[in-house]
Structure 1
Amino acid sequence: MSEQSSQVSQRPVRIGLQVQPQHADYPAIRRAVAAAEEAGVDVVFNWDHFFPLYGEPGGLHFECWTMLGAWAEATERVEIGALVTCNSYRNPDLLADMARTVDHVSGGRLVLGIGAGWFERDYDEYGYEFGTAGRRIDALGEALPRIKARWARLNPPPTRNVPVLVGGAGERKTLPLVARHADVWHGFGDVETVARKSAVLDERCREVGRDPGEVERSVGVEGDPATDGEALHDLGVTLFTVGVSGPDYDLGALREWLAWRDEKNRG
């Protein structure tokens, strides 16, 4: 068991579902969210894009934060959030206010997932400057303290310390931002990749005087929980998110991960 794994051994396993808002009408999305909550999922995410990421590029698609406001009213128990909000698309102070509002509407269930942005079509068609990856990450680093400062000035403030989830795995720029600002780090990749990136994050946390165990580890998953889940959990990962796309939103894989979660948490 890794140092990170031992540090978070008391944190329960959680399962997320990313309901990708593509290739489906909104009633189908709403039904998928309701079914996931009924099944016992811990977090339901969407994503922050303006067009489908795969499949028919001109297919059905809906906007992220408007949807989160609707989910805040339509759900009762699950946490909700974007996996992840693109920092480039909204002024950081406005985003802080949007997040605070959804936090209140949901009764304190919002997770602020945020990243630097990468999908060039979104930028081009909606009139944002794409620039360079380095500049987008720098802008994220500037935005994160502004968001927290705005939360402190809002009346009323958020209902809780809204968890900040930062997505991305760049070792030179992104992981240092995670170490300084995030409650949750979300990444993708196989077990070896997650192990390497998580070890780098541990070091970045120590460099800024932070306990690495304070940052929950989150990973997008596709495989068998009995193998991939166990290996990732041994690395300290405790939030596992399954992605599903429209039009059908098949929750079969999600149910397998939920059963594995329940077995792990009972143990």
Structure 2
Amino acid sequence: MRFGIKTRPEHTSWQQMLDVWLAADELEIFESAWNWDHFYPLSGDLAGPNLEGWTMLAALAQATHRIRIGCQVTGMIYRHPAVLANMAATVDIISGGRLELGLGAGWNQQECDAYGIELPPLKQRFDLFDEGVEAIVRLLSEPVTTLDGRYVRLTEARCEPKPVQRPHPPITIGGRGPKRTLRAAARWAQQWHGFVESPEGWRELDGALRAHCADLGRDHTEIIRSTNVVVPPEPDISEVVEQVAAHAGLGIDLVVLNLPHRAEPELVGKLADAVAPLA
């Protein structure tokens, strides 16, 4: 089992998040660090502060030197895919080739209503997502891209300079929709990030991913399976370890420890020591 951390940029400060990422960067057991792509907090005071994820990633790419970095996950509805492709290439270059490109269809009605961002019905949203992922992959890997989609249209489009990682940074697709999300993961992703509500539910989703891979002629073992384990405020470390260990028999490759708000760097060190026997 492998490990990462996630810091939610809500109800916290830039300095607090930076300190935690710098601490994780020094601990080899943590292979990746993640934030999220929201503009409003998702818990507590919904009118409270929330730092923007991708500008933060660029700064964290410069501040760290080893740990892989990513957004878990980027909402396709928030940015044109060509703009996002250029952002991803730039952050991958800044980080020296450490970007994990997290992508999802998007879902937050409150943010969309507040900012006047269209949140299409589910089918259209996933049609847009499929076209968007294809556009991003092609822009990052091909010299020139033309795409005549219903939602995404590119005409001899370029994305230069290209990212360090070729053909493109690894793609993480997040979500648990068995029909559209997992089929997109089977087609494009190097990592699928899901949620464990129950062992049976996880196995069903994993089975759906395998079925989509078989249908597309892809080896399902090429796709990393990952999930989050929430670390509560003032956690009982032994309980966190028990929850992590419970995932061991589900075929999960990467567990991301979702840290509490305003976590201190010392907590990162304690968690690293605690989960080391499971690595």
TM > 0.5 fold call: yes
- Aligned counterpart, 2:257: 242
Corresponding residue for 1:47?
36
Q: Does 1:229 align with 2:217?
A: no
The corresponding residue for 1:258 is: 272
Q: Answer yes or no: is 1:204 the counterpart of 2:212.
A: yes
Greater Cα shift, 88-97 or 122-131: 122-131
Secondary structure at the residue paired with 1:35? Answer: helix
- CA RMSD, Structure 1 to Structure 2 (Å): 1.9
The answer as to whether partners of 2:19 and 2:265 remain within 8 angstroms in 1 is no
**Higher RCO (C-alpha under 8 Å, 6+ residues apart):** 1
Name the counterpart of 2:103.
Answer: 114
Q: What SS class does the counterpart of residue 81 from structure 1 fall into?
A: strand
| In structure 2, distance between residues paired with 1:201 and 1:55 | 34
CA distance in 1: counterparts of 2:264 and 2:14, whole angstroms = 16
2:134 to 142, 145, 153: 145
CA distance in 2, matches of 1:70, 1:38: 17
**Post-superposition shift, 1:87?**
0.5
How far off is 1:256 after superposition? 5.9
> Which residue matches 2:19?
31
- Cα deviation 1:58-108 (Å, max 9, x = unaligned): 111111110000001011100001000000011111111100000000000
- In structure 1, the residue matched to 2:185 is 178
TM-score (norm 2): 0.84
- Which residue of structure 2 lines up, in the alignment, with residue 217 of structure 1? 225
SS in 2 for 1:66: helix
Summarize the Cα distance change of 1:231–1:244 in structure 2 as closer, same or farther, 3 Å threshold.
Answer: closer
1:193-220 Cα offsets, whole Å, 9 max, x none, are 2121111111111111011101100011
Q: Partners in 1 of 2:72 and 2:41 — Cα distance?
A: 14
SS in 2 for 1:112: strand
1:15 corresponds to which of 3, 11, 15: 3
Q: Distance in 1 between matches of 2:274 and 2:64?
A: 24
1:128: which partner in 2? 117
The one-letter amino acid paired with 1:133 is L
* Structure 2 gaps, min length 5: 144-158, 232-238
User: Which residue matches 1:88?
Assistant: 77
